[in-house]
A and B are shown apart, each in its own frame.
With several copies, the nearest count.
Chain A
C-alpha cells in the first residue's frame, strides 16, 4: 500500500480532489491553513486573507495501481499550478 502527500495551493483543491475521486482513490484527507516554502516562494498565513489562499496538505492512502492513476491525473495540474507530491510505503493498521 502507498501513502501520497500532496502540498499545494488551497485554491486548487477543487480540481485536485475531483481528480482523486475519478482516479479511484478509496479516500483522502485534507488539511488547510498550511504555510510553507517551495519553488514558488513563501506562502504565509496572510495570503489566506488576500484571495491568494494558503496551502493545503492532502493525504491519500491507496494501492500502488491506484497511485498510478492518480499520478497521471495530477501531474498536469501540479506542473501548471505548482505544488508537490511525495510517495512512501504504508500498511493498514
Chain B
C-alpha cells in the first residue's frame, strides 16, 4: 500500500517538476524563473486556495468539527515553537533558536496545496475549513517566537531599538500572504453565498488552471530549495537533523490530535501537514523585522532546503500511510 502511495506521489506532475528544478541546480543548468514570475504563481495559488476554501466553507457551514479543529491547529502553532525552542536552544543562541522555532510552528502554504492535490489524485475528500486553519497558524507562531526572545534575553542586552508591538502585530496578522489567503477565503464565502453566477465564471481561473500552475511553481521551488542546499554546510548536522526530525515528530503529534478530533482521513492528512511544515514566507519577513540578530540563512535554509523537499517527497506518502493505518476511512 505504502509503496503505491510513494509511487503515486513521485509520478505526480507537481513532484516531478519539483525534482526537475532541483536537478537543474544540481547539474548546473542555467534554467531560471526570473523574479517576479514566481511571485505571480505564489499570489495566484494563495488567492485560489483561499477562494476555494471559502466556498467549501460556505457549502459545509461552520458547525461540527470546524471550530474545534481550527482551535487545535492554532494551539499546535503555539506549542510547536515552544518545544522546538527548548531543543534548539541547546545548540543555538536565543535569537536563532527563536527564529527557527517560529518557522516550524508556522506553515508552508505550498506544502499544504501539494497535499490537497495529492488527496485529489487519490480521490480522498477534505474540507474547505482546513484552509482557515492554514491561514490562522502563521500569526501565533510568529508571536510566540518573539515572546521567546523577549523573555529569554535580558532587556539591557537586547541592544538597539525595542521590538515595537504595533509593527510586530501588523507583521504577524497582516503580512501579504496571510492577508491574501484570509481575504480570498472571505471572498470565496461571500461569492458562494450571494453570487452563483460569479462563482461559475471564476471556476476556470480558480480550478482548471490550478494544477498546472502548482506544477510550474514547484519547478521554481525546486530550483530555490536546491540553491539553499549549499547554505546547509553552515547550518551544521544538528540543524539538518532537526529539519528532518521535526516534521516527523510534529506529523505524529498531528496524527494523534486528528484522531482525537475524529477528523476524516483527508482532513487528518492536511492537519498533519500543517503541523509538519515550516514557513519560509511570513516568518522570515517577521523575523527580519523583529529579530534581525538571527541569521536568515539558518532558518530559511532549514525550512526551504530540507523540510520543504522532505515533506513534498517523503512526507506526503508517509503521512498518508500513517493516516490510512490509524484513521478509520470515511
Contacts and interface: CB of A to CB of B under 8 A. Distances in A.
A34 to B, nearest CB: 11
Given A79-B160, A80-B160, A52 B285 contact: yes
Given A41-B295, A49-B42, A11 B36 contact: no
Contacts of B297: 41-42
A54 to B, nearest CB: 8
Interface in B205-229: 220, 223-224, 227
A5 interface: no
B101 to A, nearest CB: 17
Nearest to B36: A48
B292 A50 contact: no
Interface string B31-53: 00011101100100000000000
Interface residues of B, number: 31
A75 B321 CA distance: 55
A1 to B, nearest CB: 25
Given A51-B284, A53-B288, A44 B227 contact: yes
A45 B282 CA distance: 17
A81 B35 CA distance: 24
B281 A76 contact: no
Interface in A42-84: 42, 44-54, 76, 79-82
B281 A33 contact: no
Interface of B: 30, 34-36, 38-39, 42, 160-161, 175-177, 220, 223-224, 227, 280-286, 288-289, 292, 295-297, 300, 304
Interface of A: 9, 11, 33, 40-42, 44-54, 76, 79-82
9 contacts: A11-B30, A41-B295, A41-B296, A48-B36, A48-B39, A49-B224, A51-B175, A54-B35, A81-B288
Given A52-B284, A76-B160, 12 more contacts: A11-B289, A40-B295, A41-B296, A47-B296, A48-B35, A48-B36, A49-B42, A49-B220, A49-B281, A51-B175, A51-B285, A53-B285
